[in-house]
Amino acid sequence: MPTRKHTGATLLGQHAALPASPEEATLERVPNPHTDTNYVARFTAPEFTSLCPVTGQPDFAHIVIDYVPGKWLVESKSLKLYMGSFRNHGAFHEDCTVRIGKDLAALLAPKWLRIGGYWYPRGGMPIDVFWQTGKLPAGVWAPDQGVAPYRGRG
């Protein structure tokens, strides 16, 4: 079942419980007030958590999302709740990272979007996952995601 998507900010200014799963989460979007300007918006989730679908053990990642908005911006509270909904969701690192990127791309139709999932080691091996859609518009500065190769991230 796809993540529900809404136009407008229905979660702001009120209590909202953490959704039990990504399928129950609602991603919202709001109009971009600067559609005439190309710029990069970045969201960072340094304490992202999901569950291993095989062992049920927690997996942890540092997720960085960069995008060049078109007509829409992601509403940040809905994104925070959506990301938190993975806490009890069993999926592999690749699935979580790519799913988040695809859900945001479907919601926002951005000019460009990239997501980096920098996963902490499980079984002694970190797994980093990257996904991108579109091409970075000419003249737009997209800084490095700033997460160093694994050496005991922190």
CA 43 to chain centre: 7
How many angstroms separate the Cα of 136 from the Cα of each of 14, 45, 61, 147? 36, 22, 25, 20
What is d(CA 9, CA 87) in angstroms, rounded to the nearest whole number?
A: 23
Q: How confident is the model at residue 124 (pLDDT cuts 50, 70, 90)?
A: confident
Residue 120 has pLDDT above 60, yes or no: yes
Q: Percent of the chain scored above 70 by pLDDT?
A: 92
Q: How confident is the model at residue 152 (pLDDT cuts 50, 70, 90)?
A: low
Specify the DSSP class assigned to residue 11.
S
Give the dihedral of Cα atoms 105, 22, 13, 31; nearest 10 deg.
10
Residues 78, 84 contacting (CB under 8 angstroms): no
List active site positions.
Answer: 52, 59
Residue 64: which residues within 8 A CB-CB, separation 6 or more?
42, 43, 44, 45, 115, 116, 118, 145, 146, 147
Q: Which residues of 28-64 are buried (b: 16+ CB within 10 A; e: fewer)?
A: bbeebeeeeebebbebebeebbbbeeeeeeebebbbb
Global pTM reads: 0.91
Six token digits for residue 33: 């007030």
| pLDDT per position as a tens digit, 41-65 | 999 999 999 999 999 999 999 999 9
Q: Which domains, from first to last, does the chain contain?
A: 24-134 (3.30.1130.10)
Q: What local confidence, expressed as pLDDT, does residue 125 receive? A: 85
Q: What local confidence, expressed as pLDDT, does residue 6 receive? A: 56
